[in-house]
Chains A and B, each alone.
Chain A
């Protein structure tokens, strides 16, 4: 969530240069490069300065993304970006919080947290780098690897059905579900912007090629299949959203699949209305009252 005051305070001054330029550890041609550029563009477009943003990641090549731009960063454990981001959000309602990690991290190791994040609807944005393979550990199948795809770890073909994150999110009634493609960076930046602006949990699943380990889902493979959802798609309709979320074959839609107005976690919780935890003072008078309840 970005409050209007914060936007106006920073927008005049923020430029993409504020987010810096860094050498990366990524392969040339990796989708991470254009996702990083789209992320910076989205944040600048929202008028957010680097110190107003906290990016929480897990572990994987995707999780290195905030190392390559100026921002507050918490790189935690594999699979655990969402719980750490949730904790940070509960502690501070004013920061812009983005969880960013790969398909293995979010949908494999952290699968239970993904489901819980949708249910909880905490106000944060999950940007899932989805290249259908484990890159950092050199090419094993991920939860989104296609059935039958051969890898060094699955020499007879990946035996399980792939996980469909957007269909799961739509089915569970997530507040904002989008899919992007790193071959469409402007479009992707727009999706990330809308996701950050959404009040509640938002998912942007991003198709990207892994040039080293995934020889099936290549840039060309995605380029041939991905099409942008047009005005005929009503993202407020869960039926339409589910139809589009399940469309995965010769044609794959990208854009905002689904959006609703579920209230974000905590809007009705008295303990979260008291502002950032860092600014609160222990209330010893109240504590004395609590202690008296044990007399």
Chain B
């Protein structure tokens, strides 16, 4: 089906309240029954600069941003200048009457007439936007009541009056913008949350009760979400003195019975690599969230990229097993985070969730998560069968030794970062060394056997995807854009399928190699410059993709970007 979405871009300087306008409008749309996908583009500063909050909305499901703009809410003149080239036919600009909108279909808003205080400008913009979309004022009134609940009735009433004035003013204007088509009465309540909020909720559902972190965009919001809910959930959240401390604290907490999460971004994670190796050696379950942004070094601190797959795959010296998940949607941020904890606990290993700035910050609607339907993750083992003979690293067929928490029985739990014997003490017995390497790596076999298969979208012939002309392969947040590109191709009469990897390590080739081989053409879509997943798949299977669509300018991949890239390949 053709793209029926409407894109609202709210732009201005940091500190002008554009996020408030955007969040309230997005929530009103979700409550009204529309699909919503928000992308936030901001600069690394608290005031000034040029930031945007982009809401893509409509009745069809989509999980990616797109390049066009239908409603441009310009809080300053720069926003008009920067974005007018993206405006579609039939679009509209909402701007203060003092801003030059010559040649554009514009609602030139008399902000100072509609609101006496500058601080209420965002409510004016919200009201103008709401009436332009022909949305029921009741939705926004309720949201303003919730927003200002703590400030008292007087403030609520003042803002409601401004909102109503804005609605009334738009009704007097002949702007010609087509209303959003009415949404069907939505059958159930829906959530609106970001990828990082969904990761935090997935962690809580998995029994996570400890989070240590050092602030770094775009990873911090996972910790901030856990901190926000700590008074209800009891989660211990500690801001460490640095990333090295954060990772080592998590290992200490997990060793003593906590279920630990460490959120960070690429640069911070680089500092944690020695601790990752320690978790591998001590066989400690710790889940790391690495929210990617463009590097190297400080790179583009507030933009998006998928360039840290190699880092996470290889982080930490020595050889030890790990698993790496790459959620592609809000729903997967929740479910794969739960899965990450289940795997970390079962295989007593570091496990990683790779997300990126786009998905981390993207507000989207989602069905309420099915908390009761999740598989149970067993709690910690407090007492071994025989405390007197307990050995922390007992050799077993699958490499998994009973992991007892110290202090709850007479068993002594001994764990040494040196190579160690079954009872955990330092050894230089080289026979034991080989046994212990084999034991640790045996857990990798189990992790591979339990790998989440990549998900296939699109027509499937009797032998996998053999009837498909094109197979788009993607991982992480690129998923939404790839799905949409598939729909655009279908409109052009071209059959395409999407294979999305929600887990990128370990890879189980039986799950996907026949499909890659059967497809007439395969293209790997990634948000990096070197094709890291394509290289990994080739390394593991020998399979070489016919083409790659790569993006590394700091912006999220869109369907249009993929289609442009395919033009030179197909």
Which segment, of A30-38, A72-80, A140-148, faces chain B?
A72-80
Given contacts A72-B413, A287-B204, A295-B189, contact A77 B257 (CB under 8 A): no
User: CB distance A72 to B412 under 8 Å?
Assistant: yes
Which segment, of B70-78, B415-423, B470-478, faces chain A?
B415-423
B60-72 interface bits toward A, Cβ cutoff 8 Å, 1 = contact, 0 = none = 0000000000000
Which segment, of B368-376, B508-516, B531-539, faces chain A?
B368-376
A49-72 interface bits toward B, Cβ cutoff 8 Å, 1 = contact, 0 = none = 111101010010000100100111
User: CB distance B418 to A75 under 8 Å?
Assistant: yes
User: CB distance A85 to B259 under 8 Å?
Assistant: no
Measured CB to CB, the closest approach of chain B to A78, in angstroms, equals: 9
Measured CB to CB, the closest approach of chain B to A12, in angstroms, equals: 15
- Within 8 Å CB of A284, what residues of B? 205, 371-372
User: CB distance B409 to A51 under 8 Å?
Assistant: yes
Given contacts A112-B241, A270-B231, contact A80 B415 (CB under 8 A): no
User: CB distance A271 to B237 under 8 Å?
Assistant: yes
Which chain A residue shows the least CB distance to B238? A90
A104-118 interface bits toward B, Cβ cutoff 8 Å, 1 = contact, 0 = none = 000000001101100
Kindly identify which residue among B249, B380, B406 contacts A90, using a CB–CB cutoff of 8 Å. B249
- Within 8 Å CB of A56, what residues of B? 252
User: CB distance B412 to A51 under 8 Å?
Assistant: yes
Which chain A residue shows the least CB distance to B194? A294
Measured CB to CB, the closest approach of chain B to A192, in angstroms, equals: 20
Which segment, of A91-99, A164-172, A227-235, faces chain B?
A91-99
Kindly identify which residue among A83, A94, A289, A291 contacts B252, using a CB–CB cutoff of 8 Å. A83
- Within 8 Å CB of A84, what residues of B? 248-249, 251-252, 255
- Within 8 Å CB of A74, what residues of B? 252, 255, 282, 415
Measured CB to CB, the closest approach of chain B to A5, in angstroms, equals: 14
Give chain B's interface residue range (CB within 8 Å of chain A).
Answer: 35 or more
Q: Does B544 lie at the interface of the complex (its beta carbon under 8 Å from any beta carbon of A)? A: no
Q: Does B318 lie at the interface of the complex (its beta carbon under 8 Å from any beta carbon of A)? A: no
Measured CB to CB, the closest approach of chain B to A270, in angstroms, equals: 6
Q: How far is the CA of A170 from the CA of B330 in the complex (A)?
A: 50
User: CB distance A87 to B249 under 8 Å?
Assistant: yes
Given contacts A90-B249, A92-B407, contact A281 B379 (CB under 8 A): yes
Q: Does A86 lie at the interface of the complex (its beta carbon under 8 Å from any beta carbon of B)? A: yes
- Within 8 Å CB of B414, what residues of A? 72-73
Give chain A's interface residue range (CB within 8 Å of chain B).
Answer: 35 or more
Given contacts A84-B252, A278-B382, contact A90 B258 (CB under 8 A): yes
Q: Does B245 lie at the interface of the complex (its beta carbon under 8 Å from any beta carbon of A)? A: yes
User: CB distance A277 to B426 under 8 Å?
Assistant: no
User: CB distance A277 to B407 under 8 Å?
Assistant: no
- Within 8 Å CB of A274, what residues of B? 234
- Within 8 Å CB of B407, what residues of A? 51-52, 54, 72, 92, 94-95, 276
Which chain A residue shows the least CB distance to B416? A75
Interface residues in B81-125 by Cβ distance below 8 A to A read: none
User: CB distance B233 to A287 under 8 Å?
Assistant: yes
Which chain A residue shows the least CB distance to B241? A116
User: CB distance A76 to B412 under 8 Å?
Assistant: no
Kindly identify which residue among A51, A59, A272, A287 contacts B406, using a CB–CB cutoff of 8 Å. A51
Interface centre among B249, B411, B416 (most CB of A within 10 A): B249
User: CB distance B253 to A277 under 8 Å?
Assistant: yes
Interface residues in B371-412 by Cβ distance below 8 A to A read: 371-372, 379-380, 382, 387, 405-412
Inter-chain pairs besides A277-B236, A278-B256, 18 sampled, C-beta below 8 Å: A51-B409, A51-B410, A72-B406, A72-B407, A74-B415, A75-B415, A75-B416, A83-B240, A87-B252, A90-B236, A94-B407, A116-B241, A278-B258, A282-B204, A282-B205, A287-B204, A294-B191, A295-B368
Residues of chain B whose beta carbon lies under 8 Å from any beta carbon of chain A: 189-193, 197, 201, 204-207, 209-210, 212, 229-238, 240-242, 244-246, 248-260, 274-275, 278, 282, 368-369, 371-372, 379-380, 382, 387, 405-418, 424-426
Interchain Cβ contacts under 8 Å between A and B, 30 examples = A51-B387, A51-B406, A54-B256, A54-B407, A74-B252, A74-B255, A74-B282, A76-B251, A77-B248, A77-B274, A82-B245, A84-B255, A86-B249, A87-B252, A87-B254, A87-B256, A88-B253, A90-B236, A95-B256, A112-B242, A116-B245, A270-B234, A277-B236, A278-B258, A281-B379, A282-B207, A289-B232, A291-B191, A294-B193, A295-B191
Lowest 6 A-B CB distances belong to which pairs?
A: A278-B257, A87-B252, A84-B252, A87-B249, A87-B253, A72-B406
